[in-house]
């Protein structure tokens, strides 16, 4: 399976929000990382075919998704960034209603609802009104909804927002297992959410995808650019005005500052082992403007 974005552009009024997105995705997990307002949700809504681009097209196995039409939409599971719940719906009502909208056969829907409620840890909460769920529980209900019909293309807009650390781990395991022969795209601004599970990570800033690489490739790209510099707290106040700092740790009465720099930033700087978070900061600070 292949999904190919060809030069997708989108504006709201006179503001261009997507400035020519061209990427090709196959099966596996794709992470879409970007700051607030980068255009992730806009790209996702176009991919889910709930929003039309102004220019460009998306090809599903070589065919324009608008020609594939209902057949394409039937292959999609979509978790929007903001899900509205009818206030008198229970969790079960919401999933049954979603299953009906997807045209799922009743017995099959019932089976899937039980399975998914267990995998997202809501089996004891389905009879409660979902408007009374916590934010994290609503997110998990939304994830179950997106997975209901075993979609070939699963699109999740900020699936982990509001999830506690245990639920985050559980979510990663569900997605890893699910993605074997399917395409999963998830957007987030939290690097650690995609670091372990995404085979490819797109970095998006203001309507442009700067890069699409594996986590290992990003880390390799950062070789020789991440440094540890010790300084006092007073020095740090001044230093942070001009440096790109990815972390600060207290160490023996001093500050150990993790700095992203093309060359040695201070005489006492030592090189550090880079990670994906460093690459994210590097790309958005040096290339993003
Ligand atoms: N319906 C709309 N009308 C006008 N402007 C919009 C609309 N939707 C989004 N925008 C603007 O488009 C830009 C991209 O928004 P988008 O929601 O795609 O970003 P995002 O990367 O998903 O951000 P976030 O991380 O905050 O969810 C923002 O500047 C936003 O204000
Ligand atoms: Mg968004």
Digit-by-digit pLDDT tens for the chain (289 residues) are 999 999 999 999 999 999 999 999 999 999 999 989 999 999 999 999 999 999 999 999 999 999 999 999 999 999 999 988 888 999 999 999 999 999 999 999 999 999 999 999 999 999 999 999 999 999 999 999 999 999 999 999 999 998 999 999 999 999 999 998 999 999 998 898 899 899 999 999 999 998 999 999 999 999 999 999 999 999 999 999 999 999 999 998 999 999 999 999 999 999 999 999 999 999 988 654 4
Domain match, 186 and 247 both: no
Domain match, 111 and 203 both:
yes
Same domain, 167 and 240: no
Pocket test for ligand 1, best of 19, 41, 83, 288 (most atoms within 8 A of CB): 41
Residue 287 lies inside a defined structural domain of this protein: no
pTM: 0.93
Closest to 207 in 3D by CA, of 48, 7, 59: 7
- CA of residue 162 to ligand 1 center, whole Å: 20
Here the CATH number for the domain that contains residue 12 is: 3.40.50.300
E strand intervals along 117-176: 153-157
Ligand 2 midpoint to CA 207 (Å): 12
**Total of domains in the chain:** 2
CA of 250 to the centre of ligand 2 (A): 34
Report if residue 41 sits inside a domain.
yes
Q: What is the DSSP letter of 81?
A: S
Give a yes or no: residue 170 inside a domain: yes
Cα three-residue angle 93-117-148, rounded to 5 degrees: 70
Question: Within 24-74, where are the H helices?
Answer: 40-47, 65-68, 70-73
Strands 76-79 and 153-157: parallel
Q: Is residue 93 part of a domain?
A: yes
């Amino acid at each position: 399976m292949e999904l190919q974005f060809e030069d997708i552009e989108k504006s709201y009024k006179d503001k261009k929000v997507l400035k020519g997105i061209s990427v090709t995705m196959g099966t596996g997990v794709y992470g879409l990382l970007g700051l607030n307002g980068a255009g992730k949700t806009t790209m996702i809504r176009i991919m889910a075919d709930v929003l039309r681009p102004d220019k460009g097209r998306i090809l599903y196995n070589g065919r324009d998704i608008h020609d594939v039409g209902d057949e394409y939409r039937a292959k999609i599971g979509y978790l929007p960034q903001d899900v509205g719940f009818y206030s008198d719906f229970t969790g079960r009502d919401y999933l049954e209603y979603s299953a009906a909208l997807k045209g799922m056969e009743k017995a099959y829907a019932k089976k899937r609802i039980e399975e998914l409620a267990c995998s997202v840890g809501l089996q004891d909460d389905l009879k409660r009104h979902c408007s009374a769920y916590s934010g994290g529980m609503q997110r998990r209900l939304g994830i179950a909804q997106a997975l209901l019909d075993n979609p070939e293309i699963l699109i999740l807009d900020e699936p982990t927002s509001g999830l506690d650390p245990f639920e985050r781990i559980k979510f990663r395991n569900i997605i890893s297992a699910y993605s074997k022969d399917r395409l999963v795209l998830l957007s987030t601004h939290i690097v650690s959410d995609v670091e372990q599970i995404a085979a490819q990570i797109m970095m998006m800033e203001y309507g442009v995808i700067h890069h699409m690489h594996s986590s290992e490739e990003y880390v390799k790209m950062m070789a020789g650019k991440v440094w540890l510099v010790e300084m006092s707290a007073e020095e740090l106040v001044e230093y942070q005005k001009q440096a790109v700092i990815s972390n600060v740790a207290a160490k023996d009465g001093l500050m150990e500052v993790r700095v992203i720099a093309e060359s040695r930033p201070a005489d006492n700087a030592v090189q550090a082992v880079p990670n994906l978070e460093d690459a994210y900061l590097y790309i958005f600070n040096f290339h993003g403007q």
